[in-house]
């Protein structure tokens, strides 16, 4: 496995949830490669498989089939101890539900220091731990609230503490499931900008799941999931000056069998409702149109 190919490589991930009388296909052969240092948003309708994918990347769930390589390692071949270390040190995870991220009776600073005490690898002294936690609090603009307990912080501030906690063990990858789900619009942009800062200043690979399509303007790559598969993606275009412009070029995924999924709104616009489409090769383009068009 060539780790330079991507820090995250998903190959044909399948997840079937079996309940008493029902099987749910949450992931249907998902292929996705995320490069080291990328800032990616994953979007998709409710039930499309976003959390299922993120949980797998976080080592919290296993697939029914397929492969997943993270940082050059085959995630599902790790021993129990290796997997615990992976969850503690390679990835940082932010849940939508604050209660899962934070310990209520500790202040902000101690919440951030706590995970570093259980980290096997980064043997930091108490002083180093506190200094690192303070640096993280400054990065999330809460340097002045280090001693506050959670009850004394607003929802948006608590979520920012959660971001700092997720980074406490210096992970290479930050995974966030709807991190802006419970905060207002102004705080959403705030939080997205913190992710950008982590990405740009600390070089962390960031994957954010979101419903909110307006937030996707703030990232470099947007991957859209539909029915448990990547259906299309958008890449931010860089201007010659190097500045990232807000418009995103759209790409559809071409699978190994040559299949492409056409976004739903395109189908609607062209009134493509049947199961055939006119296909024509026009020099360096493939043209798709309604069957009755000439």
Ligand X SMILES: Nc1ncnc2c1ncn2[C@@H]1O[C@H](COP(=O)(O)OP(=O)(O)OP(=O)(O)O)[C@@H](O)[C@H]1O
Chain residues in the site for ligand X (CB under 6 A): 17, 19, 24, 26, 44, 46-52, 211
- Select 46 or 276, whichever has its Cβ closest to Mg ion: 46
Binding at 171: pick from ligand X, Mg ion, none (beta carbon under 5-8 Å per type): none
Binding at 107: pick from ligand X, Mg ion, none (beta carbon under 5-8 Å per type): none
Helix 126-139, helix 155-166: angle, nearest 10: 130
Q: Provide the minimum distance between the beta carbon of 244 and ligand X in the complex, in angstroms, as a whole number.
A: 27
- Select 142 or 223, whichever has its Cβ closest to Mg ion: 223
Q: Provide the minimum distance between the beta carbon of 47 and ligand X in the complex, in angstroms, as a whole number.
A: 4
- Select 56 or 162, whichever has its Cβ closest to ligand X: 56
Interacting residues with Mg ion (CB under 5 A): 51
Q: Provide the minimum distance between the beta carbon of 185 and ligand X in the complex, in angstroms, as a whole number.
A: 19
Q: Provide the minimum distance between the beta carbon of 191 and Mg ion in the complex, in angstroms, as a whole number.
A: 17
- Select 51 or 216, whichever has its Cβ closest to Mg ion: 51
Q: Which residues have a Cβ under 8 Å from the Cβ of 102 and sit 6 or more positions away?
A: 111, 150, 158, 161, 162, 165
Binding at 19: pick from ligand X, Mg ion, none (beta carbon under 5-8 Å per type): ligand X
Question: Among residues 192, 191, 202, 186, which one has the least CA distance to residue 222?
Answer: 192
């Amino acid at each position: 496995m060539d780790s330079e190919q991507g820090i995250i490589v998903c190959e044909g991930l399948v997840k079937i949830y079996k309940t008493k009388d029902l099987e749910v296909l949450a992931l249907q052969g998902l292929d996705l490669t995320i490069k080291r240092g990328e800032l990616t948003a994953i979007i998709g309708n409710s039930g499309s498989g976003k959390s299922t994918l993120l949980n797998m990347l976080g080592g919290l769930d296993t697939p029914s089939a397929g492969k997943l390589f993270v940082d050059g390692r085959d995630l599902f071949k790790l021993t129990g101890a290796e997997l615990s270390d992976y969850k503690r040190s390679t990835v940082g995870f932010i849940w939508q539900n604050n209660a899962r991220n934070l310990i209520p009776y500790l202040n902000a600073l101690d919440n951030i220091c706590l995970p570093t005490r259980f980290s096997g690898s980064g043997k930091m002294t108490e002083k180093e731990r506190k200094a690192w936690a303070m640096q993280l609090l400054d990065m999330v603009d809460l340097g002045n609230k280090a001693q506050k307990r959670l009850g004394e912080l607003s929802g948006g501030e608590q979520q920012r503490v959660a971001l700092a906690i997720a980074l406490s063990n210096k992970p290479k990858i930050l995974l966030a499931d709807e991190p802006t789900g419970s905060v207002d619009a102004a705080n959403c942009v705030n939080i997205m900008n913190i992710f950008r800062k982590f990405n740009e200043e600390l070089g962390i690979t960031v994957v954010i799941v979101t419903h909110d399509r307006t937030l996707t303007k703030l990232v470099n790559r947007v991957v859209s999931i539909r029915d448990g598969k990547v259906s299309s993606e958008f890449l931010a275009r860089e201007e010659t000056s190097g500045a990232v412009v807000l418009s995103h070029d759209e790409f559809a995924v071409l699978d190994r069998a040559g299949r492409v999924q056409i976004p739903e709104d395109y189908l609607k616009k062209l009134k493509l409702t049947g199961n055939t489409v006119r296909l024509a090769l026009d020099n360096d383009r493939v043209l798709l149109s309604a069957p009755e068009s000439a």
